[in-house]
Amino acid sequence: MNKDLLLELEKSFMEWKKESGFKASFDELDEIFFIRDYIQHAGFVSDKINRMICGRIRDTFSAWVNQISLWLFPSQTLISFSESKVFDEKDREELNSILSEFMYIISLNTEIGLTKDKKKEGEFVDKSLEVWKKNLPLLIRFTSKVREFWIKK
């Protein structure tokens, strides 16, 4: 563990937080998006730490969009085709709702990358945390259904 790197990260984060005006704490974001691990793996703190962290948040949502898409619209693989069958119509509606919310977050990040709007960037951070917390119980329920399917298979 590189303590100097982590100190630099937390200092840069606090400066960015003050500049963008979001409410989320570093620890809240790190617990969900593994910011410390991401920066340690990268080996540096970018002078554009805002885009680095927003990109990490986006990547998490993108991974889930890919997974949910495979559940809703299975490809020609046995895995996605099999897993898609565990969801009933109510589940599919909830998955579609999650998909829409996650895509909103991803597209907001893309817009911010183009506009460099600091206020929207702050809103992105807080909205990401809100959307994640809201949908986490459903994600757990759906992944449990899939796991149980594979146990029975």
What average pLDDT does range 38-57 have in this prediction?
96
pTM, rounded to two decimals: 0.94
What average pLDDT does range 15-28 have in this prediction?
97
Q: How far is CA 92 from CA 18, 67, 72, 78, 102, in A?
A: 40, 13, 7, 19, 15
User: What DSSP assignment string belongs to 4-20?
Assistant: HHHHHHHHHHHHHHHHH
* Residue-averaged pLDDT of the chain: 96
Q: How confident is the model at residue 77 (pLDDT cuts 50, 70, 90)?
A: confident
- Domains of the chain by residue range: 3-152
Q: How far apart are CA 132 and CA 152, in angstroms?
A: 29
Report the percent of the chain where pLDDT is more than 70. 100
Q: How confident is the model at residue 76 (pLDDT cuts 50, 70, 90)?
A: confident
Say what the pLDDT of residue 153 is: 76
- The model's pLDDT over 80-131, given as tens digits with 9 standing for 90+, comes to 999 999 999 999 999 999 999 999 999 999 999 999 999 999 999 999 999 9
Q: How confident is the model at residue 75 (pLDDT cuts 50, 70, 90)?
A: confident
